[in-house]
Structure 1
Amino acid sequence: MRRTTTSLALAAAALLLAGCGSNSGSDSAGGGKVSPSAPSAPASGGCAADVQLKAADGGRTVCVEKGGEVRLTLDGTKSRPWKPVMASGTALRGINAGFVIQPGDAGAAYHAVADGTVKLTSSRPLCAQPTAPGQVSCKGIQDWTVTVTVK
């Protein structure tokens, strides 16, 4: 019981802290944030001011306005952890992504600083690694890639 209570308290504190400073500076509801998994596009038909990415968004291409933000959270496990997210290209600059709460998760945040295209990548094992001698080993890798266009 103590472990559950402590875990819940830590999770609640982390969520509270994560909310601090996450305002994009907009007073409008939603702040122009768009999740690529959502079926709707930005109202203007252009790029989103801010983009939130998850593991399910792998393989997609998204567009963010110059000056906007891209934030991502990949939920993993201790036995199937995500590798740190890598960015190739110069259109995004890394910013503080906050805390990673669970072992195996990966998080990243970027500020869109220039027009261009960036590939965000990560990977994790397809299956849990053996914990005892004689168990079958899995060598498969799950890749995650999202292409971000900044305009």
Structure 2
Amino acid sequence: MRRTTPIVLAATALLLAGCGSQSGGDTGSKGKVSPSASAPSSGSGCAARLELKAAANGRTVCLAKGGELRISLDGTKTRPWKPVAASGTALRAINAGFVIQPGDASAAYKAVAAGTVKLTSSRPLCPAPDPGQVSCKGIQEWTVTVNVR
């Protein structure tokens, strides 16, 4: 008996473990919440600058009043992110720059008042099907709560 069977089984297990884990355009730092190198302002203990990606989904972050928040959600042409929406008045939208890739969503905000803001976006879970194929109606949602102090 040849000893290739364990290798084939191990390779198959690794391939199967990776199935479904591709996020369709969410590359790079995988959405880490990264405060800037600058020190928190006004002694609030909150970050003066934050950058959010897709993996920040579900998190609550603290931003100092006067600080800036930037959001970059990497999508694809077939699975585009909707524009980021903000509910609350503690953040004011500022120029986020240009979105270079189709399907990406970017936003930038300045913390103008103390309070809590909920940021949201969503995109299709699956690409649109070809004619005659079964469609996937799932939605991937993204939500981050920002506390401004």
User: How many angstroms does 1:134 deviate by?
Assistant: 1.1
Q: Distance in 1 between matches of 2:39 and 2:73?
A: 22
**Structure 1 equivalent of residue 98 of structure 2:** 99
**Unaligned residue ranges in structure 1 (runs of 5+):** 1-28, 34-41
Pairs within 5 Å for 1:81-120:
81-120=80-119
Q: C-alpha distance in 2, partners of 1:77/1:138? A: 16
Task: Let me know the Cα RMSD of the aligned residues.
Answer: 1.8
Give, in whole Å, the separation in 1 of the partners of 2:90 and 2:44: 21
Which structure has the larger Rg over C-alpha atoms?
Answer: 2
Q: What is the percent sequence identity of the aligned residues?
A: 73
1:65 and 1:45 map into 2 onto residues whose CA distance is 6
CA distance in 2, matches of 1:128, 1:32: 42
Match of 1:140 in 2: 138
Say whether the 8 Å CA contact 2:88–2:118 is kept in structure 1. yes
Question: Could you tell me whether the CA contact under 8 Å between 1:81 and 1:125 is conserved in 2?
Answer: yes
- Equivalent AA in structure 1 for residue 116 of structure 2: T
Say whether the 8 Å CA contact 2:57–2:144 is kept in structure 1.
yes
SS of residue matched to 2:118: strand
The one-letter amino acid paired with 2:136 is: C
TM-score, L = length of structure 2: 0.72
Aligned position for 1:78: 77
Query: Which residue matches 1:30?
Result: 37
Deviations 1:75-115 (A, max 9, x none): 00000000000000000000000000100000000000000
Return the alpha-carbon distance in structure 2 between the equivalents of residues 133 and 104 of structure 1.
21
Shift of 1:136: 1.4
For 2:95 and 2:110, the matched residues in 1 are separated by 10
Where does residue 61 of structure 1 map in the other structure?
Answer: 60
Letter in 2 for 1:122: S
The 3-state SS of whatever aligns with 1:50 is strand
Q: Which amino acid aligns with 1:84?
A: P
- The AA in structure 2 aligned to 1:136 is V
- Cα distance in 2 for residues equivalent to 1:61 and 1:144: 12
Query: Which aligned runs of 4 or more in structure 1 are off by greater than 6 angstroms?
Result: none
TM (normalized to structure 1)? 0.71
Alignment of 1:13-52 (within 5 A): 30-32=37-39, 46-52=45-51
